[in-house]
Structure 1
C-alpha cells in the first residue's frame, strides 16, 4: 500500500486566533503535558514500503526528552520484504517497557493516597508522519501525535467496528472542561468538570508508525488525580470561575466570560476551555470512546476542533494492577489487544 499523506488522511481544521490579554500571554506557561521524572518514551516504525532513497523497514528507537534529536536506527529488512504479524513484533518490543511504566504509575496510588487517582492505559490513533517519508526526514523528525481522525473513520468505527466487536453503548456525555491556572502551582493545570482534576501525569508513551496502514497508534500510561482535599476557599474560588461562564456556541470552546471574570483574586485564572461530546462503548475487555472536541487556549489565542477515537484497555489495565502479575499473562493479553488494533483500528475503511 502506498503512503497516504496526512492532508489526504483527514480534513484540515482551521484554527482561529483572537485577542488575548497580554497578561495571560506573558504570565502563563503552556503546561498541558506533564511528564513523570522517570517517564519512558519509545518510537517504532513498522512496515515494508520502498522509498527512492532507502528501504523503509521495521525500526526501533528510544526517544527521550533530553535527546529528541537522536537519529533513528534502521533495522535489517526481513527476507520476505514484509513483516508478518507485526503486532507480535511490537508486543515483544514493548512488553517490558509497558510493565515498567505501569508499575511506576501504580506508585502514585500510594504517593497520593488522600486523592482519587485513576490509572489509564489508552491507545489513540492518527499519524506521526510527514508528507515525504525519507531517511533525512526521519532523522530530523520531532514527534507530534495528532489525534484528529477523518469523519469517514469515525463512521466506519461506529457503524462497522462497534457491531463487529460486540460493543454496546455505555453512555454519551456532553461536557465543558474549564482549564484553570493556579499561580501557587505553576507546573499543573486544574480541569474543572463536575470535579477538580489535575492534568494527567504521563509515565509511558509508545508510538508505532504503521507504514502499511492508514493510521499510526500511540499506547500511553498516565495517572490522573481528582482533588478531594480542597479547602472551602479554594472550592469557592473555582466555583466563581466556572459559574460566571456563559455558553456561546459561536466561540471556540463554547464558553465565554464577562469582562474581568477570567480570574479570581491573584491565584486562579482561566487558561483554556474544552467542549466535548463523548460516546462510550464497552465490551468485555475494552472501552471505546468516540469524541468530538472543540478547544480554545487563552494563553496562545489558538482554538480548534477535532474528532478522536481511542481505546481504553480495561482488561489489560486490570491485570497490570495486580500484585506479582505473571509476565506471560501480560504478554498474551497484550498480543490480543494489538491484534485487535491491527485488525480493526488502523484502516480508514475496514
Structure 2
C-alpha cells in the first residue's frame, strides 16, 4: 500500500492573516532556495506479463467449496494491522492442530503433485520470458525459490463472514504472503529436517541491508549490503544490488498444513556501473548510519542524514542473521530478520525459511525433463519435510 501524507493548502492572502507554522516553514525554505523534497518508497518490480496466482490444496474435490472445518479466522500480525487498519484473515483448518505438533508424517505426495499441475503452465511461460531476457542482457540471474509462511486476506466487508468461504469469494479480497514462522517451526527445521534430507551447513551471514530509493529511477530500489564495524559503531558497504524482478508468484494455501507456501520465479540483473557522484551519495548515506541495537533494524541516522541531496533516500533497513544449508539440489536459508520501514515508522522481527531450488532452476532454463525434475524435488516424502 502507498502511504501519501496529506497536503496542506496555504491562504493566498498572507498579509491579512496571522502567520502559521506551516507558512513560516514554507517561507523559510524558499529563502534558503531548497529544492523540492521527494518521498521515497520501497519498490517491488514485476516483469511485463508477470503471472500472479493463488490457489488452495487439500480442499474438497469440488475445487471451490471448502470443507466445513475450514474457516477464515483473524491472524494476529501487529505490523500488518497498523498498515491495514484491521486484523488480517487466514484460512485455518480446525481439524489440523494449530499448536506445536508437527503434521509432516501425515502428508501425502498427492497435494505436491497438484502444485506442479497448477503452476507448470505459468512456470513454463515465465521461463520463456526469462530466456528472452538472458539473450538481451548480460548478468541476468534467474532463481526459483519456495518460501514458507501464511497467505493472509483483508477486505472482509466485501463478503459475508457467516457464510462458508469459497475460492470465488476469497478472490474478491486483497491478500499478501506473510513470511514469518514460529520459533518451534524454526527449531524443528534445524534439529529434524536438515539432518533428515542430507543438508550440510555452508555459512552464516550477519549483514545489514539498507534499502535506498533513487528519485531519478523511481522504479528501482537499491539494496546496499553492509557489514558492521563495531569498533567505530557504523557500517562498511560491500555490495549494491538492484531490486529483483518477479516473473511468477504462486501463493498456495495448504489446508492440511499449519503453514502455506509461495513459489516464486524471479531474476536479478547486475547493477550498471555507478558514477562517482552516485557512489559518493550512496556511500555518504551508509557512512552516516549509526549502529543502535535498541532501534528496529539495528540502525539510526542523525537528523537529516537519511537523505543524500534530493536524489537518494533510505526507505527501509534490515538486520539479518542467516544460516545456509546445502546439498546438490537445494540451498536452505534460515533467517532471523529485524526490519524497519522509515516511510511508515513500522518495524518487525521475524523468522523466515527460504528454499532455493537451484537444480530445478537449471532444468527449467534448459527446458529438458522439466516434469521429472520437479517431481524429484517435490514428490519424495522426505523432501517435503522442509515444510
> What TM bracket, shorter-length normalisation?
0.7 to 0.9
Partner residue, 1:134: 165
Cα RMSD, aligned residues only: 2.7
**Aligned positions, number:** 291
The higher-RCO structure (CA 8 Å, 6+ apart) is 1
Measured at CA, do residues 84 and 157 of structure 1 come closer, stay the same or move farther in structure 2, by a change above 3 Å? Answer: closer
Given candidates 174, 198, 202, the residue that maps to 1:166 is 198
The question of 1:233 aligning with 2:256 is answered no
Measured at CA, do residues 264 and 272 of structure 1 come closer, stay the same or move farther in structure 2, by a change above 3 Å? Answer: same
Q: Distance in 2 between matches of 1:130 and 1:35?
A: 21
Q: Secondary structure at the match of 1:128?
A: strand
Partner residue, 1:156: 188
Given candidates 103, 127, 138, the residue that maps to 1:102 is 127
Given candidates 334, 338, 343, the residue that maps to 2:384 is 343
Measured at CA, do residues 54 and 312 of structure 1 come closer, stay the same or move farther in structure 2, by a change above 3 Å? Answer: closer
Partner residue, 2:297: 253
The answer (yes or no) to whether the contact 1:127–1:215 under 8 Å persists in 2 is: yes
Residue ranges of structure 1 left out of the alignment (5+ in a row)? 1-21, 58-81
Deviation at 1:41, TM superposition (A): 1.4
Q: Deviations over 1:283-341 (max 9, x none)?
A: 1100000001111111111111110001000101111222xx23xx1101112222258
Q: Distance in 2 between matches of 1:267 and 1:340?
A: 50
Moved over 4 A (4+): 129-133
Q: Deviations over 1:83-136 (max 9, x none)?
A: 9712122212211211211221233334432xx332111000111156987228
Residue ranges of structure 2 left out of the alignment (5+ in a row)? 1-7, 9-36, 69-106, 155-160, 226-237
Measured at CA, do residues 111 and 303 of structure 1 come closer, stay the same or move farther in structure 2, by a change above 3 Å? Answer: farther
Given candidates 339, 345, 353, the residue that maps to 1:295 is 339
Partner residue, 2:50: 39
TM (normalized to structure 1)?
0.76
Partner residue, 1:176: 208
Measured at CA, do residues 148 and 137 of structure 1 come closer, stay the same or move farther in structure 2, by a change above 3 Å? Answer: farther
Partner residue, 1:124: 147
Q: Secondary structure at the match of 2:178?
A: coil
Partner residue, 2:177: 145
TM (normalized to structure 2)?
0.69
